[in-house]
Structure 1
Amino acid sequence: MDLPLNDLSMIHRFTPASAEGAPPLLLLHGTGGDESDLLPLGGLLSPGSALVSPRGRVLENGMPRFFRRSAEGVFDEADVRLRAAELGEFVAQAREHYDLARPIAVGFSNGANIAAALMMLAPEALAGAVLIRAMVPLTDPPAFDLGGKPVLILSGGMDPIVPAENAARLARQFQAGGAALTHETLPTGHGLGQMDLTIAREWLAASFG
């Protein structure tokens, strides 16, 4: 059962674990989504996992996001850093409140970008990440060491929003930061599809099962 508990620092939904040993997932929606958007995806990706799904605290034309931008693909990097710190604090609160292990982030688009930033700025916050249609969140991130944490980047070969060079640069940043990186480019656009679900589910089972 989903519990719409909002007594932590971010409005969120929480689904308790129903399978022992299933890793918790931190679900991070895209622009215009909310705390309910990715709950069905989380249940399909890792059945039985606890799901924590916060709502982005920034509004763009009434649409929730996790950080500000000045144009498509042009990020307010000071705000990225601020919001990543806020998300890291929320993760710490949620872990204590719900008695959770370090979660795996599953982010789509804007949610993938804030997850990538959190991995770079606070490597200890997450156990790993699934980044679907992610872009480089920080042009000059600090040196970081993920110590072999698993990261999956799923890019779209026909994505009109994320240039292939940008996705490749993000992959290089994670490789330089010590991630156990898998980067796949799918024959699709920016939208989330069945291929993403299949690959991410298999990768999660292999990396954390």
Structure 2
Amino acid sequence: MPIDTADAAESYVHHAEGIGAGRPIVFAFHGTGGTETQFVPLIRELRPGSAIVAARGDVSEHGALRFFRRLGEGRYDMDDLARRTAAMTAFVEAQVARARPSEVIGLGYSNGANILASVLFSRPHLFHRAVLMHPLIPWTPPPAAISTKVLITAGERDPICPPQATRALEAWLRAQGTTVRTAWQPGGHEIGRGEIPAIAQFLQ
């Protein structure tokens, strides 16, 4: 049975502010162990005046919130990912229908970037722009004509999201005709100082 739009819009615990017809809306997705408010101050700074919707991950990994289950580092429960991608897609679409925004932007870090990317693969035209900070996509998605403009930020010494995985994702996106750029930083999995100016420029 299809999920009712009103139910879908409230299917995640979430932070919402500034919702109004005609305003751009930013969907934020936290990393493992984060919360729905993790990136709210950053979005307020980088996109003042935008509405913000930030969902709280509903999977607990030893007490750390995530958006889908994994079997180990870089090993995802793909059935669970498919179910939770469908649920998150319904949530985002319901929020968009409710807000009627002028632009839809996604921003996610680590596990949040992974669920955002999975939604993007599922709905290639849902987001106008997407920021994927340190994503790890250890599978090859089916072809999709993704119209979203994508920024990937990555660390050259990231032990969780190896550079070769980032380059593979970038190459896959380009093969779909996606406008994509990657901002590399010299560090690891943490959000590097140089990533913020790159994100700010991308969101302007």
TM exceeding 0.5: yes
Distance 1:128 1:75 in 2: 25
Alignment correspondent of 2:179: 180
Partner SS for 1:194: coil
**Matched residue count:** 197
The superposition leaves residues 1-56 of structure 1 with CA deviations (integer Å, 9 ceiling, x where unpaired) of xxxxx9711110011069x9763110000001111111111112211111110011
Report the AA paired with residue 195 of structure 2: D
**Cα RMSD for the two superposed structures:** 2.0
Report the AA paired with residue 194 of structure 1: R
Distance 1:72 1:44 in 2: 32
Alignment correspondent of 2:4: none
How far does residue 103 in structure 1 lie from its aligned partner after superposition?
1.7
Which TM-score applies when normalising by structure 2? Answer: 0.89
Alignment correspondent of 1:203: 202
Distance 1:36 1:88 in 2: 20
Report the AA paired with residue 25 of structure 1: V
Which TM-score applies when normalising by structure 1? Answer: 0.87
Alignment correspondent of 1:90: 91
Q: 1:78 to 1:111 in 2, by over 3 A?
A: same
Alignment correspondent of 1:67: 68
Q: 1:7 to 1:23 in 2, by over 3 A?
A: closer
Alignment correspondent of 1:12: 14
Partner SS for 2:171: helix
Distance 1:106 1:54 in 2: 11
Alignment correspondent of 1:30: 31
Asked if 2 retains the 8 angstrom alpha-carbon contact of 1:121 and 1:142, the reply is no
How far does residue 177 in structure 1 lie from its aligned partner after superposition?
1.8
Asked if 1 retains the 8 angstrom alpha-carbon contact of 2:158 and 2:189, the reply is yes
Alignment correspondent of 2:133: 132
Identify unmatched segments of 5+ residues in structure 2: 1-7
Segments of 4+ moved more than 2 angstroms: 20-23, 96-102
Distance 1:85 1:128 in 2: 20
Identify unmatched segments of 5+ residues in structure 1: 1-5
Q: Which moved more, 1:61-70 or 1:72-81?
A: 72-81
